[in-house]
Amino acid sequence: MIHPTAIVDEGARIHESVEIGPYCIVGPHVKIGAGTRVGPHAVLDGRTEIGENNRIFHHASIGAVPQHAKYRGEPTRLVIGSDNILREFVTVHLGTVEDRGITIIGDRNLLMAYAHVAHDCTLEDDVIMANAATLGGHVYVENHAILGGLTGVHQFVRVGRNAMVGGMSGVRLDIPPFVRASDNPAKLYGLNIIGLERAGFSSEEIGRLRKAYRILFQSGELLEDAVAMVRAELSEDSNVMRLVAFLEKSERGFCR
């Protein structure tokens, strides 16, 4: 159902089950999948593809051109998966040709009011961005990560899976998987134990991650030596190896 006050371009491809509220604006290159609901005064623009059963609240701005000085109107994209919740005044921008030309939001993510996802970012699945959390361009956030309210993440930073970043943090370096981080600049405060338990990690899995954390971040060893120690003792644990791989691939450096 499309409210009669909404302005929907004839070129937009909208499933018949989609609900579009009063005074919305939908641009000509927008695609919206079944079951999605769009609240009043939302603006959906650009080459934006939105999957099924999403809830986009009032005054959200989805698919606007990137806030990038070099952007010159190139046909870049935004792809949003299914079952996401984008609350009031959320802003998500298109990609740029300075990167892959696409911004991606996966499935089942919750972006609370005023959250911002800049150009060329990727959110995997089940990510939570609390109120006014902000991602600079080219940020990559892995599954089940949580960003506290008013947290700012610098361009090109990666946030690992099941990590928890406290509110009002300034994230300049990568946040490893499975950890808690907070402050400005952000630093580590141990494993995200509660988050891991809620995600179904066993006590044995958490115990091995605890051991790896102590070696990697608290032993005082050089990274190369600490990684060698972890590989020697815990190489059969896939979560530990995911943590090690994340650190080894870090280009910006990571929080400690």
pLDDT of 51: 98
The angle at the Cα of 83, spanning 130 to 25, to the nearest 5 degrees, equals 85
Q: Does residue 137 carry a catalytic annotation?
A: yes
Catalytic residue of the set 120, 126, 174, 237: 120
Query: For residue 222, what pLDDT band results from cuts at 50, 70 and 90?
Result: very high
Per-residue confidence (pLDDT) for residue 132, from 0 to 100: 98
pLDDT category, 18, cuts 50, 70, 90?
very high
Would you state the structure tokens that stand for residue 159, as one six-digit string?
């946030």
Q: Give me the catalytic one of 137, 148, 160, 195.
A: 137
* Residues near 108 by beta carbon (within 8 Å), at least 6 away in sequence: 81, 82, 83, 84, 125, 126
Q: Which of 119, 138, 144, 154 is catalytic?
A: 119
The whole-number pLDDT of residue 52 equals 98
pLDDT tens readout for residues 167-214: 999 999 999 999 999 999 999 999 999 999 999 999 999 999 999 999
pLDDT value of residue 221: 95
- CA–CA separation, 148 and 171 (whole Å): 11
State yes or no: is 120 an active-site residue: yes
Q: What is the pLDDT of residues 33-55, one digit of tens each?
A: 999 999 999 999 999 999 999 99
Helix runs in 163-256, H state only = 193-198, 203-213, 223-234, 238-249
Would you place residue 165 in the very low, low, confident or very high pLDDT band (cuts 50, 70, 90)? very high
Structural domains of the chain ordered from first start: 7-141 (2.160.10.10), 196-249 (1.20.1180.10)
Mean pLDDT of the region 94-111 = 98
pLDDT confidence tier of residue 7, bands split at 50, 70 and 90: very high
Record the tokens describing residue 88, joined without a space: 């009031």
Mean pLDDT (the chain) is 98
pLDDT category at 14 given cuts 50, 70, 90 is very high
Are 161 and 179 contacting, i.e. CB atoms less than 8 angstroms apart?
A: no
Measured distance CA(77)–CA(65) in Å, rounded: 10
d(CA 218, CA 154): 25
Q: What is the pTM of this model?
A: 0.98
pLDDT tens, 109-152? Answer: 999 999 999 999 999 999 999 999 999 999 999 999 999 999 99
Q: Percentage of the chain surpassing pLDDT 70?
A: 100
